[in-house]
Structure 1
């Protein structure tokens, strides 16, 4: 596929670290190309991308895809030096706020999550996640959809950590019933939830729609705890949703989350409930 069809992604204008990384990568690519005496037109043809993209990458205005760096390394005889930049470039592909969230999750030893609107991002299948992103209004561009989808899926590496953190999720029943993306996507999502529920250290609970009391009606809850005893939490009902570390705010979030868990089905009851939903889908 040519670079005209895969133009790469742009970094957000306020992402200073991302802009700095792209500027460095672009400068290295340009210096290497000039060192071997290759014109932009010849280089673009050799790696199979458009000249416009080459100019934008070298000027730090576009994020090169991993295969772009691999081809550039090969064509310019860089001996792996250009390909080695893929790790930093991969991080730049994700929006700054998503990177910050992923960094916190990567250090957490305990995670408590409640999302009243959708199945939580860490639990979403690619199909479900894509459906949600495509439903966003005002609509995301195709580039934004792919970027946010990649970032959301990359966060799932938290399940692969050894040891993995203790994770607790509370899911709303209605989010398990609404066939976002179609019935097949919903079936795949329910099957995925059952697989995740079997993981050591993961507890899934469902909040039934028939509950007459609900401590989570004020909004979602997120609490991450770390090995040094510190924690960070977030909820739209507390200081407008900004991350908080102050004990007084964390106490409120943990109190609400604890009550939400007590009001929800137990993990075993929740697994049975999801199996029943899957059988009826």
Structure 2
């Protein structure tokens, strides 16, 4: 099994903290599990801090400085990591998403963020915050579009999305916006950048009727699962939970249309929206 990769401290504040945490931990002779016990967290959590997939919180930074004898290094630098352009409940998940090698997602009510167009994202953000200033909506939309640039890499992350038919038929932003949004999904799939399956209404009851889920795998850190609700979000690294959610996703793919049939449906819906807009 390969050892941990050498992190680039110049790449981001989080990378700096991860590299310094690993260095300080190894210098004191503590394993990840032993250090986790001092913080009342798992060794997996320490691994994720070192690998940049989890954000260091101020309460952990204070204990790390005490346990590792780093004076106030982690406390001083923790604030730089805390700054984010994303809503607080989603910030840590977005940052983990940026370094994931594989993402598997079930989207029950809207097109996944990584697949959205600017117009669709703007319509979603405006619906979320109907009284927000236009500047706020523009900032939220730009942040979401920044996430989509992950798909500019020709090989990673792998994105496998199961999209509920409801998300494709809800006219978010109007027919023209929906036509553009669905054409983008078709284009990305045609470039072999994403795998998309549609869970049609005919599939009936399924394993994730309680809500959305997103599974993320990493090169050298344990996997995570992200649960999201209205204005809330939670990252979970418990191995049993991740395993159960992975099985849930696999069960979702079974009744969903094949990728080929899914794209045919998405393309047909896109054409319908375009035709309705320009009869």
* TM-score normalized with structure 1 length: 0.62
Which residue of structure 1 lines up, in the alignment, with residue 190 of structure 2?
Answer: 198
Residues in 1 aligned to 2:117 and 2:111: alpha-carbon distance in whole angstroms: 10
Quote the RMSD (CA, aligned, Å): 2.3
Offset, 1:141: 2.3
* TM-score normalized with structure 2 length: 0.63
Which residue of structure 1 lines up, in the alignment, with residue 206 of structure 2?
Answer: 214
Work out whether residues 190 and 274 of structure 1, in 8 Å CA contact, stay in contact via their aligned partners in 2.
Answer: yes
Equivalent positions of 1:110-129 (< 5 A) are 110-129=102-121
Residues in 1 aligned to 2:165 and 2:154: alpha-carbon distance in whole angstroms: 31
For the pair shown, which has the larger CA radius of gyration, 1 or 2? 1
Residues in 1 aligned to 2:214 and 2:114: alpha-carbon distance in whole angstroms: 12
Equivalent positions of 1:1-281 (< 5 A) are 93-95=85-87, 98-137=90-129, 139-228=131-220, 230-236=222-228, 241-281=233-273
Work out whether residues 216 and 225 of structure 2, in 8 Å CA contact, stay in contact via their aligned partners in 1.
Answer: yes
Gaps of 5+ in 2: 1-12, 14-79, 274-279
Aligned residues: 191
Offset, 1:244: 0.7
Offset, 1:180: 1.4
Work out whether residues 226 and 236 of structure 2, in 8 Å CA contact, stay in contact via their aligned partners in 1.
Answer: yes
Q: 1:270 to 1:162 in 2, by over 3 A?
A: closer
Q: What SS class does the counterpart of residue 167 from structure 1 fall into?
A: strand
Work out whether residues 207 and 265 of structure 1, in 8 Å CA contact, stay in contact via their aligned partners in 2.
Answer: yes
Q: What SS class does the counterpart of residue 202 from structure 2 fall into?
A: coil
Q: State the Cα deviation string for residues 138-164 of structure 1 (Å, max 9, x = none).
A: 532222211111110000121022531
Gaps of 5+ in 1: 1-16, 18-87
Residues in 2 aligned to 1:200 and 1:180: alpha-carbon distance in whole angstroms: 26
Offset, 1:203: 0.2
Residues in 2 aligned to 1:186 and 1:260: alpha-carbon distance in whole angstroms: 24
Residues in 2 aligned to 1:161 and 1:212: alpha-carbon distance in whole angstroms: 36
